[in-house]
Structure formats: C-alpha cells, structure tokens
Structure 1
Amino acid sequence: MKKIFYILFSLFFLGEVSCNSSSSGETKKTKAEVGEGKAKIRIAYPKIKNINLSFNYTGTIEPSKEVRISPEIMGKIKKITVKEGDSVKKGELLILFDTRLSGLQREQALAAVESARVQVENLERELKRLEPLLASGAISQGEFDKVKAGYDSAVAGLNQAKAAVNLSGYQIKVSRIIAPFDGIVARKMVNEGEVVAPGALGPYGMLTLMDIKEVIVKAGVGEKEIGFIKKGMKATVEVDAYPDEKFEGIVDNISPSADPMNKNFPVEIRIPNPEFKLKTGMFARVKILVESRENALVIPESAIIEEKSGKIVFVVDSGEVAKKINVKTGIEEEGFVEITEGEITPQSRIITEGNFGLKEGARVLVIE
C-alpha cells in the first residue's frame, strides 16, 4: 500500500513541475514578441501635393433676378398668356388688361384737345385784333384783360386735354404686362376676369418672374474670416439633390456691413445654372477657395502636437528611437497639414499614432 502511495505522489510532483516550467516559458515568449520597453507607434511618410485653404459655409439658393409684377392701374384682366413654370423671353406678353374703357377715355380726351385748340386759336385772333384798339384808346385795359384771361384759360384747358390724352395712352400701354427679362414664371396669383388694383395683391403681385440661368447663394461670414474673402474668389457649391456633383461659382459681392442679428457679413456667390438644376430655396453647402499652394510638403494632421513652445512632430530616427522636431505649419485641408518650417523631408518617418505622451529618445516599435 505504501509503495502505491509513493508512486502516485511522485507522478503528481513531476506533473506540477512540468506545468510550471511550461507556463514560465510562454510568458517570456510573449514579452519578447511585443518588445519589452518599446512604445508601439504607427508612422506615415510626408507627401508632396497641392493643398488649398478653404472656408466652409451654408446658405440658400436664390435667383440672380426676381421681380414681383404688380399692376400700375386698376383694371380687369382680359388674358393671361403664361402659367407657373413657363420660360419667357424679355418683352414677351404675360398679362393683357381690358382696354375698352381706356380706349373710350382716349377718344374723349382727343376730342377735348381738338375743341380746346379751336378755342385757343379763336381767342388768339381776337387778342391780335384788340391790341391796336387798346393802343389807340378805343377800348379800355379792362376789356382787353378780360379777353386775355379767356385766352389763358383756354390754353390751360388745351394742356389739360393733352395730359388726358397722354394718361389714357399710358393706361393702354401698361395694360400690356410684358416680361422685363428672360426668366421663369415662379408664381401666378391672379386669373382671367379678375379686377385688380395697384397694391391690392400685397407683396406677391400678379406674377413672380425669376432668372435662374445664374443663381446666388448668400452665406454669412464671421468677422475672423471676412478679411480673407475677396471678390472673384472661386467657390464650390453642393446640394443634397445632386450628392455627386459640385457646382462652380465665384464670390460676386461682399457686404460692407454685418448683419445686426448674427454679426456675420453677407457674401454672395454667383453660380452658372444653365440646366436649371439648382432650384430656389435649396439648402447649399459652400466652400470658398481662399489660397492654394502647389507641391506643398504635407503630413497627417494627427502627427502635430501642440506644446507651450509651439508645434512639434515626432519622427523615428535610424536607431528606432523617437526624435522631436519643431515645425511651423501652413494650410490645413482634409486631414493634412502643410509644413512650412522644420527638418522634415519626404523620407522622414512621421509618428502619427502613439505620439501623445511620447518622450524624445524613447525606443519605439513600428506596427502596421
């Protein structure tokens, strides 16, 4: 019995020794793989590329021209030649008023002109006849002045009649509402047969005409950025309706005064719109190109560390240790930063991950 117990005890002891030896070897192997005392990092190489300084804003698409057409006279609408969405040319007839009353008034005014002219001519002849009589004393000054007053009144009546002719002619002229420019009928607020008067339709008028061959995006630019924006700068516009397209435009106008509500400066970007893809009221994202650099040396933005003394970048030197480089930066775009000063070359191994809290001279392990 003692012999069996001794054998079992020996086997248990040998098993324990074997297990402990195996576990100890596994731990040392793992430490050796990760590299004891080394900081894990990732690197990237600088690139030579074109880089742009751009400012991003939002705005709303507006027409380059817009007019709300209201009547200049009170009248009945005889004919409307367009409907909403129609394209029209400058000078094209849009609305025609009934001109029968204006025509009759013009005829009446012309008759009054003729009557007043005859009266003026008669009194003028009478005055010429009385002038020598007045000189010879055959008639008194009062008698002459009475005829002269009649003549002056007749001349005034003639002028009034002529004004009535002009007024009726103008009423006939403005009864034809024509397009002031090429555009699209965006809104129609009246129908044939309605009687309308100036101001009766409020701010909408009878028709709204828009020119959207070019459109405008108005963006609000803050005080810190307005000094960079110049008229003529290039801009790109994106809208949700066409997610894969960018529409090119230019800065067309910069307001000299800020909006009193939000303190931003209104800036207008003009965009050609020959296919009428951009519609008024669309929400737009605007990028204004302020500055462009060709063949700039750039590195990932994550490589830049801000210190009290300035900006630094860590690189991996030939001894696989971290080296701190002081740098100055320029334009930032889409995750890349331009390096304007510092000992950085396209061959430099820039630390982009694991660089925060890293000490100069620390041993590093580059991981993929």
Structure 2
Amino acid sequence: MKKLLIVIVIILIIGTIAFVSFKDKKNEPKFRTDKVMRGDIEATVTATGTVNPVTTVLVGTQISGTIKNIYVDFNSPVNKGQVIAQIDDAQFTTKVRQAEANLESAKANIENARANIENLKARLNASKADIDKARVALTDVRTNLDRIKKLWEERLASQKDMDSSQNSYDSQIAQLKSTEATHDSNIAQLNAAEAQYKTSLAQVKQSEASLDTVRLDLEHTRILSPVNGIVVSRNVDVGQTVAASFQTPTLFNIAEDMTKMQIYSNISEADIGKIKVGQPVEFTVDAYPDTIFKGNVSEVRNAPITIQNVVTYDVVVKVDNSELRLKPGMTANVSISVSNRKDVLKIPNAALRFKPPEMQDKVTAREKDSGVWIIEDRKPKRIKAATGISDGNYTELISGDIKEGQELIVESLIKAKSQPQPRGPRMF
C-alpha cells in the first residue's frame, strides 16, 4: 500500500511538471520585436585608406659619388637650403681646377692670335708698300727701255745697252711678281689668323661652359633640403656609393608640413556617386582605437583603379594634425557622411529584413516593396513602409501607418518546419 502511494505521488508530480511545461511553451513569445524610434540618422560610406603628408619631397642627387657626411636623421627638422648630406668632392675639385687651367690656356691662345693678327697686318702693309715701289721702279725701267730701244733703232745705242735695259726690265717684272706673291701670302696668313682668333674665342666659351658645368657638379656634392619640413626617411649611409647614371637616386624623403595630412582612400564604384567635395569625414587608426579623428573630402579623382575586375576611385581626405599624432603610412578606417536626417522615425533594419518562417521561400509582388511586420491577434501582419536613407542599423521612415514606439517584428523565435527530403532509391 505504501509503495502504491509513492507511485501515485510520483505520477502526480510528473504530470504537474508536464502540464506547467506545456502551458509555458504555449504562452512563450513567438517573435522578438524592436521599437520604432525618433532621432537623427546619418548615411555613411566606409572605406580604408592610408595617411600621408600633403607634400612629400624626394631628395636625390644629380651626380655619382660616395657619401662623405650625413647631417640629419629620421625625424630631423630641416630648413630650406640646409645642407643635409655631403658627397666626397675631391674629384670634382680637381675637375674644377683643370677646367680653370683650360680656360686660362684658351684665353692665352686668344692673346696670341690677336698678336699674330697685328703682326700680319703690319707685314701686309709692308708688302703693299713694296708692291707700290716695285710698280714705280718698273715704270722707270720701262721708260728707260723704250728710250734705249729707240736709240738702238737709230743706231745711237749699242746692243749691249739694249740688252742691259731689257734685263733690267725683266728683273723688275720678276721683282714685282715676287712682291705681289708675298703680299698674297700675307693676306692668306691674315685670313687664317683671323679664323684662328675666332676658333680661340669659341674655345674660351667652351672652356667657360665646361668650368660652369664642373662648378655646378661641385655644388651638387652638397645635398640641400628643398623645403622646410621633417625628414621622414633616410635611405643612405656614410660610405655608400650613389649612382645617378640612369635615374636620380632618392636619398631622403622630407614631409613639408606634418601638421596637415591627407588620407588616400579607395571608394567602390557603387558608392563613388555619393561622394562630394567638402563632405565631413570621421576615421580611426589602430594606434588610437578610442580616438575619432575628423576631416573633409578635398578631392574625388576620376581615374579608375581596376584590380581583379573590381573598380574603385581615389578619394582624398584632408586632416588637421596639429598634435602630430598621425604618422605617415597609418591605415585609416574612414567613414564619410553622405547624407543625414534630423528628428525622423527610424525603423530597425532587421525589421525590414524579417519575413515569417512560413513565407521565407515566397516572394510576391507586394513584398518586393518595403514593408515591416507587426503582431496583431498573436499573428504577424504586414504594413507597407516607404523608406529613405540608412546608417546600416536603422532606416529612415518616409511614410507608412507606423508610429513612434510601435513594436516591429525583427526575428522569429520559432524555426520553420523543414520540408521532408525525398528519399533516394533503395539499394539492394
């Protein structure tokens, strides 16, 4: 009897537990809901980018040589015109001295050519005077020959006198020709001397140009900072040889102004139409995860960047860096504000995505429009809703029979019954 009583008690307890469980299960909520709220909403475009100085100058060398001294290092502040490195100038100093000697030699050649011209001009004047004298003498000899010849024809002069006069005449003609030949030679020598003088002038100009070139090379052994700024990177060491034969090697990177930075971010072609110059930007960097930095869009570039058939566009964001916390090369997580609304009704995005379990695989023309679901008589009921911008979590409600504080279904707590899978043919 006692055992029977115990069995009955146990059965009653089990029955009570089963009844309570069944009742709780029947009354448990079938859906999770969220309220419609009023507030501000902001649509953003997110991307990643790289922090860089607004202006970075690559400092190189125009000559080849060995680095003799380096006067700055990483993070060194520099001024425009400051010597930041020195290339060994020994060979360039020697070239300057050689070029100076060549110039002096060329100038000496000019003086020699000028003196030679003056000398030849004097000789030319002398030979011209000799020609004049020879012509006068020839005239006298010719007159005497004519006189002797006339006397000889009248047999008043001897043959000897005739021969002597003829010989004197022939000799004077030869003398005149010799004097004229000397004069012509002097003219030719003068022309050659004047040509040599012009050549010497050209050699002086060439020597001056060569001297200017080697002097410029000597100046280039002093590497100067072209701007005021900070050395971001140093790419050489003392004793290193730099070669400028094909392209200018980069020795230093100098950021002109680290108090102003910019971010180069890649925006997808789907979002680039939303980006406009002047839009506000917020971003974070891994170095300061709890700090939100601010900036503005300064440039939207038109050149497409295609990588594996994905098209993006460069967007440049200007940032104030007065505290010098941002460093070149940092990765920035960028959020660009493209639109915002003040004091509007906001629908949870989960409510727009919700669909009752039994309708998961059904799509009607009515449901292609934006709509949400509410609970009415313990059943879901669909309400049309016209929506606007979204911030990823909430979407602006433009119109619809929805009120602030109204509960919208965002998730079903009951899984839809799965369809039985068809069995395959039995194998024997």
TM-score with structure 2 setting the length: 0.65
Corresponding residue number in structure 2 for 1:205 = 250
What are the within-5 Å matches in structure 2 for residues 233-248 of structure 1? 233-248=279-294
Contact 1:68 1:204 in 2 (8 A): no
Residue 370 of structure 2 corresponds to residue 311 of structure 1: yes
| The 10-residue stretch of structure 1 (48-57 or 61-70) with the greater mean CA deviation from structure 2 | 61-70
**Structure 1 residues 185 and 347, CA, compared in 2 at 3 Å: closer, same or farther?**
closer
Question: What is the CA-CA distance between 1:312 and the residue it aligns to?
Answer: 0.9
Corresponding residue number in structure 2 for 1:225 = 271
Contact 1:189 1:204 in 2 (8 A): no
AA partner of residue 247 (structure 1): F
Corresponding residue number in structure 1 for 2:36 = 46
Question: What is the CA-CA distance between 1:68 and the residue it aligns to?
Answer: 4.0
Q: Distance in 2 between matches of 1:193 and 1:19?
A: 97
Question: What is the CA-CA distance between 1:122 and the residue it aligns to?
Answer: 6.5
Gaps of 5+ in 1: 1-7, 359-368
**Structure 1 residues 22 and 168, CA, compared in 2 at 3 Å: closer, same or farther?**
closer
Q: Report the 3-state secondary structure (helix = DSSP H, G, I; strand = E; otherwise coil) of the residue aligned with 2:275.
A: coil
Corresponding residue number in structure 2 for 1:326 = 384
Q: Distance in 1 between matches of 2:9 and 2:217?
A: 117
Residue 119 of structure 2 corresponds to residue 60 of structure 1: no
Structure holding more helix per residue: 2
Larger radius of gyration: 2
Question: What is the CA-CA distance between 1:326 and the residue it aligns to?
Answer: 0.7
Contact 2:51 2:264 in 1 (8 A): yes
Corresponding residue number in structure 1 for 2:395 = 337
Corresponding residue number in structure 2 for 1:176 = 222
Q: Distance in 2 between matches of 1:311 and 1:196?
A: 67
Contact 2:31 2:414 in 1 (8 A): no
Q: Distance in 1 between matches of 2:401 and 2:188?
A: 110
Question: What is the CA-CA distance between 1:193 and the residue it aligns to?
Answer: 4.4
Question: What is the CA-CA distance between 1:281 and the residue it aligns to?
Answer: 3.5
Counterpart of 1:151 (choices 197, 202, 206) is: 197
Question: What is the CA-CA distance between 1:101 and the residue it aligns to?
Answer: 4.1
Q: Distance in 2 between matches of 1:351 and 1:143?
A: 114
AA partner of residue 71 (structure 1): T
**Structure 1 residues 355 and 304, CA, compared in 2 at 3 Å: closer, same or farther?**
farther
Q: Distance in 1 between matches of 2:414 and 2:199?
A: 99
Residue 397 of structure 2 corresponds to residue 351 of structure 1: no
Contact 2:388 2:395 in 1 (8 A): yes
AA partner of residue 73 (structure 2): K
Corresponding residue number in structure 1 for 2:315 = 267
Question: What is the CA-CA distance between 1:50 and the residue it aligns to?
Answer: 2.0
Q: Report the 3-state secondary structure (helix = DSSP H, G, I; strand = E; otherwise coil) of the residue aligned with 1:116.
A: helix
Counterpart of 1:282 (choices 330, 333, 338) is: 330
Residue 215 of structure 2 corresponds to residue 160 of structure 1: no
Question: What is the CA-CA distance between 1:109 and the residue it aligns to?
Answer: 3.2
Contact 1:251 1:269 in 2 (8 A): yes
Contact 2:41 2:342 in 1 (8 A): yes
**Structure 1 residues 147 and 203, CA, compared in 2 at 3 Å: closer, same or farther?**
closer
Q: Distance in 2 between matches of 1:17 and 1:96?
A: 102
Contact 1:305 1:311 in 2 (8 A): no
Contact 2:77 2:229 in 1 (8 A): yes
AA partner of residue 83 (structure 1): D
Corresponding residue number in structure 2 for 1:102 = 92
Question: What is the CA-CA distance between 1:283 and the residue it aligns to?
Answer: 3.0
Q: Distance in 2 between matches of 1:39 and 1:205?
A: 70
Residue 303 of structure 2 corresponds to residue 257 of structure 1: yes
**Structure 1 residues 91 and 291, CA, compared in 2 at 3 Å: closer, same or farther?**
farther
TM-score with structure 1 setting the length: 0.74
Q: Distance in 2 between matches of 1:180 and 1:278?
A: 24
Question: What is the CA-CA distance between 1:179 and the residue it aligns to?
Answer: 1.5
CA RMSD of aligned residues (A): 4.2
Q: Distance in 1 between matches of 2:198 and 2:86?
A: 40
Question: What is the CA-CA distance between 1:162 and the residue it aligns to?
Answer: 1.2
Q: Report the 3-state secondary structure (helix = DSSP H, G, I; strand = E; otherwise coil) of the residue aligned with 2:56.
A: strand
Q: Report the 3-state secondary structure (helix = DSSP H, G, I; strand = E; otherwise coil) of the residue aligned with 1:206.
A: strand
**Structure 1 residues 348 and 162, CA, compared in 2 at 3 Å: closer, same or farther?**
same
Percent identical residues? 25
